[in-house]
Structure 1
Amino acid sequence: MFKHAQLESVKAWLGDPAHGALPLHARVQRALRQLILEGALGGGQPLPASRALARSLGVSRDTVEAAYGQLHAEGFIERRVGSGSFVSPRAQRLGAQARRPAAPAGAPRLSQRGEALYRGGGVRDFLVPRPFAPGVPDTRAFPLATWERLQRQVLKEHGARALLHSPPQGMEPLRRAIADYVNLERGARATPERVLVLTSSQQALALCATVLLDAGERICVEDPLYQGARRAFEAAGLACVPVPVDGGGMQVQHLDGAASPARAVYLTPSHQYPTGATLALERRLAVVDWAQRHQAWIIEDDYDSEFHYAGKPTACVQGLDAHERTLYIGTFSKSLFPGLRIGYLVLPPQLVAPMAVARTLLDGHSAPIAQLTLARFIEGGHFGAHVRAMRGLYAARRDVLARLVREHLAAWVQPRVPAGGMQMPCVFTCDLPERAAVDAARRAGIDLQGLSALYAAEPAEAGFLMGFAAYAPQEMETAVKALAGVLRRL
């Protein structure tokens, strides 16, 4: 029978607020199981009769019977007709194994790909954005009421069908809306059949890396480069060949300088990340010609082209490519909100089927309700209206940040005011340790991204990126003044 200490242990388990969400019979069952695993109840030891234990615990007999039944089903106790319930000897052995001191855990043996993924460090998302996290949109200005109304319409029209799987390529209304949008606004050559709906641009990069190239093959990349792209390519075993960037974007004349041509090139032509440069038209045409001559692929990442602040944006590379060698990546995480988790690829026709099949091995599909709601949001003109409003808001915030940097940080950095995008590069004008500055700012509640870590080749410019899209002028002023104090103390 139970000792007093064992009974009190069960009562304490039942009364613990941390277990309050469990049904009463489950609490009794888990308390008894814990005693068995700890060795407090040994193998072959009889348990109290259900009526007696119920009386001692102040619960119903049915509650104890349900707990005993579950323990029996899991193999922790044996029930013998006419004799009662007993701790299973097998459960005793399991408890002894659980109590045995674990051997010191060494480093796990990972695959080469797993090691590459782990060493790369992944991609850091700013879950709770603080000034000046780059690439974060202002979600406070998003028209939630409109989105909610459109989502109700989707559920009313589609009912339970909206709860099923989406086709791997994406819902047709959204693919049609995306094709119409990129054709009109970006000068693309898209049809709904060529659009693949994904969860993010990062997923698109991983697909491109694994479907288009084999491990060991070369891909030309901008230098400096968005870290998420570099890590996706390196995790796939690709050799990244850095190509320098100047005020006109990637210096594409270097693509022909390699002894063996690369199999692909990765570009952010609208707003080069992180410099903000726009790829000149003659260079866009040159990279299209290079891809055709070498039968290589162009991976065009158009991550925030909606936000340009001077004139019309240059036509996307995909729209200039008559040879069907360009894969165009877009995302709604920057233009709408990160939690939407919808990005897309516009593909050459011959790549649609391979990419859609490969996508089924990653996550299968994107959520239908969000896709159908977004389709209505675009078709109803709400997306265009929101982008126009944010374009004006972000342009004003860019100008505010440039002024604040010049007023309060001129002793340390020089801002390079971008013609578009959501972040501003600031280059050190003095001998300041970049890593120390970024770390000290983080401890002060300010998120910056160091510039030099984005370079593969020397010389690398030191400084940091400052995002401005998500932060009101007063928030930026407070943070810039705090950052000045941080830099002053270094």
Structure 2
Amino acid sequence: MDLVIESGSTAAVYRALRTAIADGRLQAGHRLPASRALAADLGVSRGSVAGAYERLVAEGHLTARVGSGTFVAETRTPRQQPRSVPDPLRPRAGWDFGPEPTSGNTPAPKYDFRVGIPDAGLFPFDTWRRMVGAELRLRANGPGTYADPYGHPALRAAIARYLGYARAVHATAGDVLVTNGAQHAFDLIGRVLLRPGDTVAVEEPGYPPARALFASLGARIAGVPVDGEGLIVDALPAHARIVYVTPSHQFPLGPVLSLDRRRQLLDWARRRQTAIVEDDYDSEFRFGSRPLEPLRALDRSERVLYVGTFSKSMLPTIRTGFVLTPPGLRPAMAAARQLGDGHGHVAMQAALARFIDEGELARHVRRARREYAARYERIVAGLGKLPQLNVVPSAAGLHVTALSRSRIPDLSGSLGWPLDDLSHYGGDRHGLVLGFGAVDPSRIDEGLSILARNL
């Protein structure tokens, strides 16, 4: 118990306890330590604590229950009073916002068209639990030391092998830096590469969390339009330090960056000495032909940092991703990881390595891909019946975008994400982005009917 007393007297202990109750540090119903234990913590006699307890019980601040202990009285805890003076500490410019609400804070809505959320019901929890448990037991009596900031060696090797057969990316374990998801990778990249005032080019419309992260590091954000072939390379700002792009499945519109545009972008980055951050966030779930080779596979000048995540292919709560880093940046990226949070969860990373190497990830992805493809077709068919919307063709991912002639009203997230909210600089595109990873298939048609009534 965090109490400050000026002496060891009964009166001093009484004042400290009463103050803690009055200012709300000791809440109603809180059980106080036994008098002997509190006396030992405070370095006073047991009699001083017992005397203070007796006085507070007599005044109604505490309640003594035979056989149970001493508790703060239910009627004696005051409500927290509003602050009478403004907080003297304020964040620096650019940090005038708070965290966005997360899906884990509230029950899932009945019609769940939220974007970027996979179906947890498809995940093989029993298999995953067994592997994590085995790794925890294996390390139960291991040395209590810090781990490698690059990531668990077995996981780095497993990721490199997985990328080779799943995405046609040639990589070695030495190329892989394990992160706590894609956002963590973007943060490490920005901290290593960006100076305040540097320009980061992002797709417009594009992925708001990446844009906000680079801006929080002091970068100037330049929106670059996209069309049916993806990012328009000719519209890139001349002095961009980083180009952030989603070439395999542009977020949110969906087109694939064409091969010509990929070559143009790589040549542009080579000539301008610019880094490319390739965010390949959901290309496992492709419902048509095999995707084009990632930029990383075409890169010959070590300009591409390839970022991936297991948040879609597995679950967001696993908090694991990776970045393939050019050789010149690897030591700095690992140092930035070490300075930030040291390293990841060793047992979790070791379990994920087994999950990949034993084929469980590939089996899960194949099963989930079939289910998501069926949901995609059902949603596209339903949207096709709404004259207000025009579906943008797409053959990958966990969301679909439909354009409209006018702005879509705020639908509170559960019925989709208005496209206007993803266009930081405005524009003439209006529409709606609907996720289908988490929606109950039996409720898709009814949910779309409710959506139609809200348009």
Q: Which interval holds the TM-score relative to the shorter structure?
A: 0.7 to 0.9
Kindly indicate whether residue 156 of structure 2 is the aligned counterpart of residue 175 of structure 1.
Answer: yes
Instruction: Tell me the CA shift for residue 99 of structure 1.
Output: 12
2:62 aligns with none
Aligned residues: 406
Q: Normalising by the residue count of structure 1, what TM-score does the alignment of the two structures yield?
A: 0.76
**Matches of 1:101 and 1:210 in 2, distance apart?**
40
Q: 1:64 aligns with which of 29, 32, 35?
A: 35
**Matches of 1:138 and 1:99 in 2, distance apart?**
41
Instruction: Tell me the CA shift for residue 184 of structure 1.
Output: 2.3
Instruction: Tell me the CA shift for residue 215 of structure 1.
Output: 0.8
Instruction: Tell me the CA shift for residue 140 of structure 1.
Output: 0.2
Kindly indicate whether residue 367 of structure 2 is the aligned counterpart of residue 389 of structure 1.
Answer: yes
**Amino acid of the residue matched to residue 317 of structure 1?**
L
Kindly indicate whether residue 84 of structure 2 is the aligned counterpart of residue 104 of structure 1.
Answer: yes
Instruction: Tell me the CA shift for residue 38 of structure 1.
Output: 6.2
1:20 aligns with none
Cα shift readout 1:8-38 (whole Å, capped 9, x = no counterpart):
xxxxxxxxxxxxxxxxxxxxx9998543556
**Matches of 1:146 and 1:100 in 2, distance apart?**
47
**8 Å CA contact 2:415, 2:447 repeated in 1:** no
State how 1:324-339 maps to structure 2 within 5 Å: 324-339=302-317
2:449 aligns with 481
Q: CA RMSD in A?
A: 3.0
**8 Å CA contact 1:267, 1:298 repeated in 2:** yes
**Matches of 1:101 and 1:298 in 2, distance apart?**
50
SS where residue 117 of structure 1 aligns? coil
Larger gyration radius, structure 1 or structure 2: 1
Q: 1:453 to 1:36 in 2, by over 3 A?
A: closer
Cα shift readout 1:131-165 (whole Å, capped 9, x = no counterpart):
11011111101111221232233244444339754
SS where residue 122 of structure 2 aligns? coil
**Matches of 1:333 and 1:30 in 2, distance apart?**
51
**Matches of 1:278 and 1:391 in 2, distance apart?**
18
State how 1:276-425 maps to structure 2 within 5 Å: 276-407=254-385, 410-425=386-401
Instruction: Tell me the CA shift for residue 242 of structure 1.
Output: 1.4
SS where residue 374 of structure 2 aligns? helix
SS where residue 96 of structure 2 aligns? helix
**Matches of 1:194 and 1:230 in 2, distance apart?**
25
Cα shift readout 1:198-234 (whole Å, capped 9, x = no counterpart):
1010111111122111010111111111001110111
Q: 1:157 to 1:106 in 2, by over 3 A?
A: closer
Kindly indicate whether residue 137 of structure 2 is the aligned counterpart of residue 137 of structure 1.
Answer: no
Cα shift readout 1:164-193 (whole Å, capped 9, x = no counterpart):
543111000000000111122222232111
Q: 1:35 to 1:404 in 2, by over 3 A?
A: same
Instruction: Tell me the CA shift for residue 366 of structure 1.
Output: 1.1
Instruction: Tell me the CA shift for residue 269 of structure 1.
Output: 0.3
Q: Normalising by the residue count of structure 2, what TM-score does the alignment of the two structures yield?
A: 0.81
2:66 aligns with none
1:44 aligns with none
Instruction: Tell me the CA shift for residue 312 of structure 1.
Output: 0.5
SS where residue 242 of structure 1 aligns? strand
Q: 1:126 to 1:162 in 2, by over 3 A?
A: farther
**Matches of 1:230 and 1:170 in 2, distance apart?**
26
Q: 1:125 aligns with which of 102, 118, 121?
A: 102
1:451 aligns with 419
**8 Å CA contact 1:38, 1:99 repeated in 2:** no
From the two aligned structures, give the one with the greater helix fraction.
1
**8 Å CA contact 1:177, 1:375 repeated in 2:** yes
List alignment gaps of at least 5 residues for structure 2: 1-11, 23-32, 54-77
Q: 1:447 to 1:210 in 2, by over 3 A?
A: farther
SS where residue 116 of structure 1 aligns? coil
2:3 aligns with none
**8 Å CA contact 1:122, 1:231 repeated in 2:** no
Q: 1:162 to 1:447 in 2, by over 3 A?
A: farther
**8 Å CA contact 2:296, 2:305 repeated in 1:** yes
Kindly indicate whether residue 181 of structure 2 is the aligned counterpart of residue 203 of structure 1.
Answer: no
Q: 1:308 to 1:38 in 2, by over 3 A?
A: closer
**Amino acid of the residue matched to residue 105 of structure 1?**
V
Q: 1:325 to 1:102 in 2, by over 3 A?
A: same
Q: 1:399 to 1:267 in 2, by over 3 A?
A: same
Q: 1:223 to 1:30 in 2, by over 3 A?
A: farther
**8 Å CA contact 2:178, 2:322 repeated in 1:** yes
State how 1:215-294 maps to structure 2 within 5 Å: 215-255=196-236, 258=237, 260-294=238-272
1:54 aligns with none
SS where residue 150 of structure 2 aligns? coil
**Matches of 1:159 and 1:415 in 2, distance apart?**
53
**Matches of 1:463 and 1:206 in 2, distance apart?**
30
**8 Å CA contact 2:139, 2:347 repeated in 1:** no
**Matches of 1:281 and 1:199 in 2, distance apart?**
31
Instruction: Tell me the CA shift for residue 355 of structure 1.
Output: 0.5
**8 Å CA contact 2:13, 2:48 repeated in 1:** no
List alignment gaps of at least 5 residues for structure 1: 1-28, 40-61, 88-97
